Chains A and B, each alone.
Chain A
């Protein structure tokens, strides 16, 4: 038995009305919030808002060069999407690495973002895609870049009465490669010790026209490494360049010691992962003639 009230939202309009209540917390897939309540790590009182009947918040759509993903889309649905396989394979790799089949069948993209863990695997690839989140409340809708949405461990800029409606990013241009790599304690079912995602776009000559580099579990929130991006932009891809980017990245990340790994180990493996991720994204970009 959980120590809470439960309210079922029948429509998005009803959801915004119930959310005004200070104790209201959305229950999406429940894979973060229910274990959290069992561990008493969530402040009381709690009124859970069951949103399982809001099918209209589960979708993956393309329109006018943009991809929209509804907040309640599960990881299982996301990783089998042909649209995302074509345009955002790194996001698929990231979501496929989350928990087990059982976790992915319930856990949602919106829940992963709103839970705001430094290790949230969907965030680094979405940062590379410069995703924007749309937040709704009973009288307002606003858009916030994902990089401003997560403001600290477990903290977002969601205001009382607001929910995350959907996530949007532009379809990447031609000659773009993306990748995601995660180091865990074992192969399956593990939270990232450190993770990285990369997006590279090449010009006609094969030089890097545009670069995005992001890390998970390397700072209080998933973050971009602007120094690594600057080191890559305008240059000719090579192993030497990638190792310079791995050096440049060290000024941006600030990992901690915890039970999964030490700071030093994280710093070192972030560099190794980044070089591999850059190689993969580079090869993909070269093949990407969509």
Chain B
């Protein structure tokens, strides 16, 4: 600590400065990305935000409550298809975004509870396969519910979905705000950012609450938790429903952003991807999960764009097609990172270690304990 310059030492003022800097960075991010990397990358950043929301939702289920859910994408699908069906020419319904999104979230929540109620007494990996099966069931239905009655339009999916729009302000086209022209992807960015921050806020609050502690107790030792008087079934159900709700919200946003949904976006691989974000980043730790989400969206894209040119430079020709190389490197990265940091890149025990460092101060006064453990 001796050689650290003064302005880097953690204190209240520096924390504030860092906070403000981060806020400014997030505000200008789409413009900077647009200028430096191109508009396509702003889109990728938007997707990263969606996936962070998904990963944070799954984190409640897997990271907090310790329930291995391999079918999480089903709730994403429920949210997306709800939006698609209620806001597209498919049924000629064009309900506004602020009605459809809550409906999608509620439906996802109900699906979560419906799935959870009979299956949550299953232990560990049995739950994993049941959730996996559930995810597949939803996808198969989406794929096939075009005959005899056309509901989902089958594998073709639903297109021309309404853009996210509040009154006359549509995110689907460029808008002039305070004299600045904001393209559609930028507008989505700010909406997604706001909702991601909200999800982070909710996760943080839940984490340090009576319910959050009950989830973690179940994760740590379900038998002991029940012997301490926790109604494990209800509390697990709550985790499932909460996670599902987040998934439903992200799904609705996804549909409105893309303007198109098809069953292909909701495959098992997608569930696995979200799980990888949670575990790779650091289960149970919000910062870690955000990191995981960013990495797993940005890394493959970077590999996609970089794989071709780098080969050209190194070998003078393209040996492996970039798409394959991307997947290959991605798989290797998963293995290497997990071997190198089995608890994830940014595990939650970090927080605990920080707490331990403050041990001495924390118990000086009883009143401070409440704040110190936050």
Q: Do these two chains interact?
A: no
Which residues of A pack against B, CB within 8 Å? none
Which residues of B pack against A, CB within 8 Å? none
